[in-house]
Amino acid sequence: MSLDTPHILCVNPWIHDFAAFDFWAKPLGLLYIASILKNNGLRVSFIDCLDRFHFKTGTNIKVLKDGRGPYEKKEIPFPLDIKNHIKTNNIKEITKRCFSRYGIEPDWFRYDLKKQEKPDLIFVTSLMTYWASGVKETISIIKEIYPDVPVVLGGIYASLCPEHAKKNSGADEVVTGNAENILQKLVKDYTNFSFISCFDFKNLDSLPLPAFDLLSYLAYVPVLTSRGCPFSCEYCACSFLEPEFKRRSPESVFQEITFWHYKYNVFNFAFYDDAFLIDSKNYAFPFFEKIINSNMNLSFYTPNAIHIREITKKSANLMFKSGFKTIRLGLETTNFSSSRRYDTKIQENEFFNAVKHLKNAGFKSKKIGAYLLCGLPEQTLEEIEQSIKIVKKSGIQPVFAYYTPIPNTPMWKKAVKNSRFDIEKDPFFTNNSLFPCLNKDISIKSIYQLKNFIKTF
């Protein structure tokens, strides 16, 4: 590769939060971009501010059998004066809590930046909207080391809160939506280098594998078998971020897994997409059969949940035989009544049938969990309690998923109306740990009591 081609640095920023843990989290979008650039002849490097295996970590690395583990963390001040944004008098609930930067130490990041050949262009990604201050701190250190190198910010926060990102992040440009489509233009605008992409972005099978080879160590690999979602749950931004539902072929997904397993000795794989089991006959089933016949003895996880309606006797059996270890079901609530308007995922009998099929296939009860959304606007404590009881009655684990209000979702207006904070002013207040839309009749303490209640079954 010619040294005349531009050097593009890709950066995964820090998390600023009350709590964070590596639940199979990798910046997949940025790694796809890195790979597309590399395969089009550019020189690409990558710095991961969330690198759990950074060489300066020493011997203090904890890795669970499934590849997950804790990040380094350091307590930091809140990113803004929260007193100015609170509508109710529950400020102590927030201020007594520890807020931290998760990821490598700032000096390690400076070291990593300096040891690079000076880049011509830097791409920074972003994930949760309420991690905005982590993005800002990341870019401020990049600018400290390379003040004259343009920084382009993309990703989920940039797409959902572009005005906030333009005003606060410190990036030279904020891009919204899928940055793959405008890569050529960005590279041309900032480096004057032209290339004609060798990939057809409409066809997911034509894309290269994400550039996991740029990571310091691979304890697991996340896999995305589709983009978008055929559903439009009111609390979810998926349809806004990826309006079209597109899928990869089972062969392409199988080839990717085979590659990471044989070339990088990876045994743990996490599926990111909720829609993995939709139209199983043409997608998931052929994939499962290939995995079973390959005898690779892999472990699969579904951290983002799978659709309950698609769990049949056949899909449960094939998942078990393929090596799925934990199953997370996207239940959200056991309010199955017609008044449930915010999603249309399932009916009561579909939930109980799915649990029956999974258990019959061989999954142990403690390995099956049902996500229950907690803290939705206007949600009552009784609804949450009832959901826990029904899930427990089915013999599997309730798993709380605290609701995050997300701009550009159908539920956003209702969230703004019902929030205890000024969530339109700053994404910090959308942090689900703050229970921003918890019904005013419910205390945070009672939610924690319910969490403990779950453990008593």
Interface ranges with ligand SF4 (CB under 6 A) = 229, 231-233, 236, 238, 274, 330, 343
- Among residues 214 and 399, whose Cβ is nearest to ligand SF4? 399
Cα–Cα separations (whole angstroms), residue 364 to 211, 276, 393, 394: 35, 21, 15, 12
What does 80-122 look like in DSSP terms, one character per residue?
A: S-GGGGBSSS-HHHHHTS--EEESS-HHHHHHHHHHSPPPSEE
For residue 397, give the 3-state DSSP assignment. Answer: strand
Distance CA 435, CA 444 (A): 7
**In the numeric block, which tokens belong to residue 46?**
């990558």
Q: How far is the CB of 228 from ligand SF4 (least distance, A)?
A: 8
Q: How far is the CB of 360 from ligand SF4 (least distance, A)?
A: 25
- Among residues 236 and 284, whose Cβ is nearest to ligand SF4? 236
- Among residues 244 and 441, whose Cβ is nearest to ligand SF4? 244
Non-local (6+) Cβ contacts of 222 within 8 A are 24, 25, 26, 28, 269, 270, 271, 272
- Among residues 173 and 343, whose Cβ is nearest to ligand SF4? 343
Q: How far is the CB of 119 from ligand SF4 (least distance, A)?
A: 34
Q: How far is the CB of 35 from ligand SF4 (least distance, A)?
A: 24
- Among residues 343 and 422, whose Cβ is nearest to ligand SF4? 343
For residue 180, give the 3-state DSSP assignment. Answer: helix
Q: How far is the CB of 281 from ligand SF4 (least distance, A)?
A: 19
- Among residues 243 and 362, whose Cβ is nearest to ligand SF4? 243
| Residue-wise burial string across 80-101, b where 16 or more C-beta atoms lie within 10 A, e elsewhere | eebeebbeeebeebbeeeebbb
Distance CA 447, CA 403 (A): 12
- Among residues 121 and 373, whose Cβ is nearest to ligand SF4? 373
Q: How far is the CB of 241 from ligand SF4 (least distance, A)?
A: 10
Distance CA 430, CA 453 (A): 26
What does 363-378 look like in DSSP terms, one character per residue?
A: --GGGEEEEEEES-TT
Q: How far is the CB of 392 from ligand SF4 (least distance, A)?
A: 23
DSSP letter assigned to residue 68:
-
What does 243-262 look like in DSSP terms, one character per residue?
A: -S-EE--HHHHHHHHHHHHH
Chain centre to alpha carbon of residue 59: 27
- Among residues 52 and 247, whose Cβ is nearest to ligand SF4? 247
Q: How far is the CB of 240 from ligand SF4 (least distance, A)?
A: 10
